[in-house]
């Protein structure tokens, strides 16, 4: 399936090479002084291309040719004078391997306040190993930067991009509407700290499809204020699975609603599909969630609701999660669990989970029937189920 994204990219490159892009102007970063030597900072050329493209009153394209470009940082801010900026990348953008370079930065490459942006192709290499090693060594280290941040933007398309070795999160979508992410590959080491693949928060109408994600943290993480999120044809692993949450860290928090995962494969991940909330008071919620057509290969905690999340046992012990979880459907799910408990609904005593529905589930653990565990979880079940439902 990721072929779709690639064909699209090849098609665009073909158009570009043979006809030039139909409308608007094109800004080639090499013509603006960037060198594909992996050393010279291409940020000034990139920034100039951005100023031209964003200031153009007609559609504009920024073109990154083949080769490795060192980019210190990219701060691409709108609003722009047109709503059709394309960034066509045939090469690799490389961050610095020096962990101090982005120590004060939230993101390495950020697009903010833009309406109408398409990014096609490209590899972005966050060079995160130095930071991971620092974090593993227990020294004090910078938090690390997100490789690609899309913030407060609308009508954004990311197609055929690869993100490798991010310092922290690979791709963050925050405060956005109408975002399509397709044919994207993410790869960070399985023991790399906090390298979530794609994080979506405070956003409306986001669609992530045909993507392969292997990382050291969640393949996809979903934060508060996410509405109408669609995830289709996703391969996840290694990693911590697809996670809604952690929710309910704040006492007042926007909810998550209408989230779908359809057609997904998880390989050797630490969790499968998870909803997670802090065990403390909050007015947050998660509702209208659908997990369907899923295959698990040796996945720990394949089906998991954890409302007692309390890292380091600080500021939560003994408290109940205020997050209300309701209307969650698990449908057509097969495969193998790496833990004896394959279905674990550990819901809040003060806000029990309601409207959970299990349908057509066939999970094994060491060629045996695994267990299902329910605390404060209410709902219904239908179709063949292994393990059997424990819902009240």
Output the smallest distance, CB 145 to ligand NAG, in A.
11
> Cβ neighbours of residue 368 under 8 Å, at least 6 residues apart?
none
240 is annotated as an active-site residue: yes
Q: 25: burial class by Cβ within 10 Å (0-12, 13-18, 19+)?
A: middle
Output the smallest distance, CB 232 to ligand NAG, in A.
6
Decide whether 82 or 230 has the Cβ nearer to ligand NAG. 230
Decide whether 96 or 376 has the Cβ nearer to ligand NAG. 96
Q: Is the alpha carbon torsion for 359, 365, 370, 374 positive or negative? A: negative
User: Could you please report the per-residue DSSP string of 237-277?
Assistant: -SSS-EEEEEE-SSSS---EEEEEEEEEEEES-S-SEEEEE
Output the smallest distance, CB 29 to ligand NAG, in A.
12
Catalytic residue of the set 240, 293, 312, 357: 240
Output the smallest distance, CB 276 to ligand NAG, in A.
19
Decide whether 114 or 391 has the Cβ nearer to ligand NAG. 114
Pairing status of strand 74-77 against strand 60-64: unpaired
Decide whether 242 or 347 has the Cβ nearer to ligand NAG. 242
The closest alpha carbon to 153, from 101, 97, 80, 228, belongs to: 80
Residue 289 DSSP class: E
Q: How far is CA 331 from CA 48, 123, 261, 334, in A?
A: 50, 35, 10, 9
Q: What are phi and psi of 44, to 5 degrees?
A: -60, -40
Output the smallest distance, CB 320 to ligand NAG, in A.
29
Compute CA 322 distance to the chain's CA centroid, rounded to the nearest angstrom.
25
Decide whether 172 or 377 has the Cβ nearer to ligand NAG. 172
The answer to whether 220 touches 197, Cβ cutoff 8 Å, is yes
Strand order in the sheet with 171-174: 74-77, 107-112, 146-151, 171-174, 198-201, 220-222, 242-247, 273-278, 303-309, 341-346, 371-375
Chain contacts with ligand NAG (rule: CB under 6 A): 2, 5-6, 13, 17, 65-66, 75, 77, 90, 160, 162, 182-183, 185, 207, 209, 212, 228, 230, 232, 258, 260, 268, 293-295, 298, 300, 332, 334, 338, 362
> Cβ neighbours of residue 17 under 8 Å, at least 6 residues apart?
none
Decide whether 127 or 271 has the Cβ nearer to ligand NAG. 271
Output the smallest distance, CB 279 to ligand NAG, in A.
25
User: Could you please report the per-residue DSSP string of 333-358?
Assistant: EEEEESSSEEEEEE--SSS-EEEEEE
Pairing status of strand 204-214 against strand 185-187: parallel
Decide whether 1 or 134 has the Cβ nearer to ligand NAG. 1
Output the smallest distance, CB 356 to ligand NAG, in A.
19
Residues identified as active-site: 240
């Amino acid at each position: 399936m990721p072929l779709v994204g690639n064909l699209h990219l090849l098609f665009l490159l073909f158009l570009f090479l043979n006809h030039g892009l139909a409308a608007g102007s094109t800004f080639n970063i090499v013509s603006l002084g960037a060198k594909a030597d992996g050393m010279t900072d291409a940020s000034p050329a990139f920034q100039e291309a951005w100023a031209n493209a964003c200031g153009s009153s007609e559609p504009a394209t920024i073109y990154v040719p083949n080769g490795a470009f060192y980019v210190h940082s990219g701060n691409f801010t709108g609003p722009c004078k047109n709503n059709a900026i394309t960034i066509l990348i045939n090469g690799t953008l490389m961050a610095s391997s020096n962990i101090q370079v982005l120590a004060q930065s939230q993101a390495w490459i950020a697009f903010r306040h833009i309406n109408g942006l398409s990014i096609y192709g490209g590899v972005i290499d966050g060079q995160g190993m130095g930071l991971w090693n620092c974090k593993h060594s227990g020294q004090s280290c910078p938090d690390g930067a997100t490789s690609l941040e899309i913030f407060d933007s609308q009508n954004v398309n990311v197609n055929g991009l690869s993100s490798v070795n991010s310092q922290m999160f690979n791709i963050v979508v925050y405060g956005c509407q109408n975002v399509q992410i397709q044919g994207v590959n993410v790869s960070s080491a399985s023991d790399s700290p906090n390298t979530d693949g794609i994080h979506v928060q405070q956003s409306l109408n986001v669609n992530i499809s045909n993507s392969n994600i292997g990382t050291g943290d969640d393949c996809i993480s979903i934060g508060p204020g996410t509405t109408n999120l669609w995830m289709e044809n996703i391969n996840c692993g290694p990693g911590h699975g697809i996670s809604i949450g952690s929710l309910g860290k704040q006492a007042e928090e926007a909810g998550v609603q209408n989230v779908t995962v359809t057609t997904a494969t998880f390989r050797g991940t630490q969790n499968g599909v998870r909803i997670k909330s802090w065990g403390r008071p909050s007015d947050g919620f998660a509702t209208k969630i659908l997990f369907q057509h899923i295959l698990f290969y040796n996945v720990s905690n394949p089906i998991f609701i954890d409302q007692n999340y309390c890292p380091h046992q600080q500021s939560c012990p003994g408290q109940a999660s205020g997050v209300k979880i309701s209307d969650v459907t698990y449908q057509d799910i097969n495969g193998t669990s790496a833990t004896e408990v394959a279905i674990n609904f550990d819901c809040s005593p003060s806000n029990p989970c309601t409207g959970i529905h299990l349908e057509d589930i066939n999970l094994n653990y060491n060629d045996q029937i695994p267990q299902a565990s329910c605390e404060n979880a209410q709902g219904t079940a239908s179709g063949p189920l292994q393990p059997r439902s424990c819902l009240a």
